[in-house]
Amino acid sequence: MGFAQKLITWQRRHGRHGLPWQGTRDPYRIWLSEVMLQQTQVAAVIPYYERFLVRFPDVHSLARASEDDVLRLWSGLGYYARGRNLRKAAMEISARGFPRAAQAIAELPGIGRSTAGAIAAFAFGKRAAILDGNVKRVIARCFAVEGEKRLWALAERLLPTRSIETYTQALMDLGATVCTRKNPVCAACPVAELCMAKKKSTQHAFPAPRPRKALPLKRATWWVLVKDGKVLMDKRPGAGLWGGLLTFPEAAQASWKIQSRKQLPVIEHGFTHFRLRATPVLCEVRGVSLRQGQQWLAIEAASHSATPTPVKKLLRQLAGR
């Protein structure tokens, strides 16, 4: 029994079968789950996925939504460009229909080659390869192969002629639950007898670890301006860090009439390429000249708006005072 068939047999007996996006051919639901699962754990995605479907049950309702509505539901899930691109892609799909070929799916905003392959396989039964982080690890270890180009070529060669959906899910499940980055459970692996890394006890060498660089530290001051139970929020530009989300102003303005100020505990938040150290300054104000993108919101309402996680946490602390 070859690599693909071993995985298919294993998945049917031991794989994950109760996830909310399984058991459907609806490309909208599959696409939504695959985008949410990019760089995000299944357990974190499930509640967002379920809430999203209640608010936007199909691609047309998502296409009609405002960016603020989408980002409000996405708030806390991270990597917010995914939410913005999801809405852009929905508008294209609503107008022209959902493409069926992986190459065409990959041309939609926010969808790369691997995500497109997963959608094509699960929604349309297409023989399309995937190569997310978990799958890279499985293939790299089993065949002792390194390099993106070689891994993609091998992923394409390994595709079975039948049961592509089960095979694709098996790759995902194996990487997530058995062939894990640390402490792989080789005794439970269906392809252990084929695995070159296991034979040589070099599992942790594949894929080769990237050299770790010290993340640069960026500092910011968050001006938390409050007045009559409301807080001043600043909408970020559409592109860049936290694009389209509401945050606190980071630059003081001469027009602010501050009555009192108090420095709150420093907040640290990690990103892929840097760490943020924000110093919140809570200010009671009498008056503020609003700039473009700024608005007053009730503190409780602001805590439920489209805000990044550290901002939301601080707003909830303020609302609880």
User: Residues 16-74: pLDDT tens digits?
Assistant: 999 999 999 999 999 999 999 999 999 999 999 999 999 999 999 999 999 999 999 99
Q: Say if residue 79 is in the same domain as residue 144.
A: yes
Q: What is the pLDDT of residue 272?
A: 86
The CATH number of residue 178's host domain is 1.10.340.30
Domain that holds residue 295: 217-319
Q: What is the pLDDT of residue 213?
A: 84
DSSP symbol at 219: E
Phi/psi at 33 (5° precision): -65, -40
Average pLDDT over residues 223-246: 93
Q: Which of 138, 173, 205 lies at the terminal end of a domain, its last residue?
A: 205
Q: Residues with Cβ < 8 Å from 313, sequence gap 6 or more?
A: 267
Residue 239 has pLDDT above 90, yes or no: no
Q: Which of 205, 235, 253 lies at the terminal end of a domain, its last residue?
A: 205
Q: How confident is the model at residue 217 (pLDDT cuts 50, 70, 90)?
A: very high
Q: Say if residue 246 is in the same domain as residue 124.
A: no
Average pLDDT over residues 202-207: 92
Q: Say if residue 66 is in the same domain as residue 114.
A: yes
Q: How confident is the model at residue 263 (pLDDT cuts 50, 70, 90)?
A: very high
The catalytic residue positions are 34
Average pLDDT over residues 269-290: 94
DSSP symbol at 64: H
The CATH number of residue 305's host domain is 3.90.79.10
Q: Which of 149, 173, 205 lies at the terminal end of a domain, its last residue?
A: 205
Q: What is the pLDDT of residue 214?
A: 86
CA nearest to 1, candidates 129, 176, 190 = 190
Q: How confident is the model at residue 207 (pLDDT cuts 50, 70, 90)?
A: confident
First-to-last alpha carbon distance for the chain, in angstroms, is: 63
Q: How confident is the model at residue 1 (pLDDT cuts 50, 70, 90)?
A: confident
**What proportion of the chain, given as a percentage, has pLDDT over 70?**
100
